[in-house]
């Protein structure tokens, strides 16, 4: 990693000086309330953006597959590793008569497995792993039938650094790497590849997806909302309510196109005056087992962009709904899937190196327990917040300089919806 800082704070001390297009005034959250806006968002944001759907390790062998149920698109998506090792995505539908092609006990539950061909249980038609028809049953009964017109419908699919993305817009011409842009290029080379020890967390919440994204776009709320988890650290921070807070003010914010990141100071990544006794015993905290970053090898240039010695972790929000957080000994992904204007599913996957000792394994469990608690704390106000946003008692909200990423997400969504409505400019 170069020692030159990639980012420095503006001399004024205000991040918003670097991004005047975002403004500093009040912001409307009508985009989290309006059912009409949600319909536009589905069309112009989710159906036209590259979307992260899973890791390459979920398709370990030829014929491996998994499905994703996407309410926002009213479709089920099938991801398959072909005999040629190419990862492909399909709408999970049989072109004979529309049966859902791959499912197990419940057609609305996601599933995974391995199969040599795609088999439709309704009338027994079989398809190759590339979606082409192998053979219909009772071909003698098919009249005016052309086999090459009968394929499982493809969805654009690309893999970046082991992350599998789909794009539901058949007219899309942008690669996923170009879409993700400069922030993603800066973290290429990170040891994303397995083997991993993975811990998963998934829940549906009665709040708009952007509200939860916003909660992970600033740390200003840390000493207040997370007072229970960060105990002493929170108490110390709160003694200086009017002062810059080294525990919660970001080291850096970067906005690049539709995407954004922030970099955070590192006390949770190592022993500190605020470490709890159990953390000292297990040598692990909320961002992972301590001081393991060096075990991962050299880090890519885009991490720790201020080159701060007190660096702790970086959080990258790739538009629209995919977050990668780099901690002391691994990375965590968040994906937020709208299920309605006022509800969404959050998926959290935590990736660690396989532990090499019992202590390390227990340290990971401690971290996962902390993270689950912290995420529950983050979630705890959101359903009430959604209910009050729905009241429209307040129309505009008062964001501060540490909430600049919140401005950016809502403006980016609004811009895309407006451009989509005007009929252009949405692919970029
Ligand atoms: S619907 Fe699939 S074989 Fe008939
Ligand atoms: Fe939080």
The rounded distance, in Å, linking the Cα atoms of 194 and 209 is 29
Distance 275 CA to ligand 1 centre (A): 59
Nearest 5°: phi and psi at 314? -120, 145
Widest pairwise Cα distance in the chain: 81
Nearest CA to ligand 1 atom 4: 123
Distance 219 CA to ligand 2 centre (A): 6
Distance 125 CA to ligand 1 centre (A): 6
Strands (E), 168-277: 197-205, 252-256, 259-265
Average pLDDT over residues 155-178: 98
Q: Six-digit token pair at 368?
A: 């996962």
Strands (E), 244-329: 252-256, 259-265, 284-285, 288-289, 311-318, 322-326
Distance 218 CA to ligand 2 centre (A): 8
Domains of the chain: 15-43+185-422 (3.90.380.10), 61-168 (2.102.10.10)
Among 205-209, 269-273, 341-345, 385-389, which stretch is predicted with the lowest mean pLDDT?
A: 269-273
Nearest CA to ligand 1 atom 3: 123
Note the Cα 428 to chain centre separation in Å: 19
Q: Does the CB atom of residue 310 touch ligand 1 within 6 A?
A: no
The rounded distance, in Å, linking the Cα atoms of 381 and 370 is 18
* pLDDT single digits (tens) 377-414: 999 999 999 999 999 999 999 999 999 999 999 999 99
* pLDDT single digits (tens) 153-165: 999 999 999 999 9
Among 25-29, 84-88, 231-235, 335-339, which stretch is predicted with the lowest mean pLDDT?
A: 231-235
* pLDDT single digits (tens) 308-362: 888 888 999 999 999 999 987 789 999 999 999 999 999 999 999 888 889 889 9
In percent, the amount of the chain with pLDDT more than 70 equals 92
State the closest ligand 1 atom to the C-alpha of 94, by its place in the atom list counted from 1: 2
Q: Does the CB atom of residue 233 touch ligand 1 within 6 A?
A: no
Confidence of residue 208 (pLDDT cuts 50, 70, 90): very high
Note the Cα 67 to chain centre separation in Å: 17
Question: Counting ligands in written order, which one lies closest to the CA of residue 126?
Answer: 1
Instruction: Identify the pLDDT of residue 426.
Output: 42
Q: Six-digit token pair at 257?
A: 């196109």
- At residue 35, does pLDDT exceed 50? yes
Consecutive H or E run containing 331:
strand 330-340
Q: Which of 312, 295, 217 is nearest to 22 (CA)?
A: 217
Q: Is the peptide bond before 263 cis (omega within 30 degrees of 0)?
A: no
Burial of 294 (0-12, 13-18, 19+ CB in 10 A): exposed
Cα 237 to Cα 138, 153, 219, 365, 405, distances in angstroms: 73, 54, 12, 27, 22
């Amino acid at each position: 990693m170069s020692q030159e800082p990639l980012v420095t704070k503006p001399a004024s001390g205000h991040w918003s000086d670097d991004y005047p297009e975002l403004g500093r005034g009040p912001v409307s959250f009508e985009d989290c309330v309006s059912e009409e806006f949600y319909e536009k968002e589905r069309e112009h944001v989710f159906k036209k953006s590259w979307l992260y759907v899973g890791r390459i390790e979920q398709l370990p062998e030829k014929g491996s597959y998994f499905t994703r149920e996407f309410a926002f698109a009213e479709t089920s998506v099938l991801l398959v590793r072909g005999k040629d090792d190419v990862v492909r995505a399909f709408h999970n539908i049989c072109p004979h008569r529309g049966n859902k092609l791959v499912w197990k006990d419940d057609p609305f539950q996601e599933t995974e497995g391995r199969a040599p061909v795609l088999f439709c249980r309704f009338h027994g038609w079989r398809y190759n792993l590339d979606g082409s028809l192998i053979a219909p049953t009772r071909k003698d009964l098919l009249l005016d039938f052309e086999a090459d017109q009968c394929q499982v419908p493809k969805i654009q699919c690309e893999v970046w650094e082991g992350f599998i993305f789909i794009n539901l817009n058949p007219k899309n011409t942008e690669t996923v790497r170009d879409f993700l842009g400069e922030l993603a290029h800066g973290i290429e080379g990170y040891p994303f590849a397995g083997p991993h020890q993975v811990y998963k967390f998934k829940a549906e919440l009665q709040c708009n997806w952007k509200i939860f994204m916003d909660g992970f776009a600033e740390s200003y709320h840390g000493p207040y909302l997370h007072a229970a988890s960060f105990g002493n650290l929170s108490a110390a921070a709160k003694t200086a309510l009017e002062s810059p807070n080294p525990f919660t003010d970001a080291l850096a914010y970067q906005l690049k196109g539709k995407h954004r990141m922030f970099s955070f100071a590192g006390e949770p990544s190592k022993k500190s005056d605020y470490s709890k006794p159990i953390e000292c015993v297990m040598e692990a905290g909320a961002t992972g087992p301590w001081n393991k970053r060096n075990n991962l090898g050299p880090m890519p240039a885009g991490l720790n962009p201020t080159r701060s010695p007190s660096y702790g972790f970086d959080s990258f929000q790739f538009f629209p709904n995919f977050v990668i957080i780099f901690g002391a000994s691994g990375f965590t992904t968040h994906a937020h899937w709208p299920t309605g204007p006022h509800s969404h599913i959050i998926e959290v996957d935590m990736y660690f190196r396989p532990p090499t000792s019992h202590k390390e394994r227990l340290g990971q469990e401690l971290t996962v327990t902390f993270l689950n608690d912290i995420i529950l704390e983050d979630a705890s106000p959101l359903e009430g917040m959604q209910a009050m946003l729905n009241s429209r008692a307040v129309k505009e909200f008062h964001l501060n300089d540490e909430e600049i990423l919140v401005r950016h997400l809502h403006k980016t969504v609004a811009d895309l919806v407006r451009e989509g409505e005007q009929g252009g400019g949405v692919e970029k």
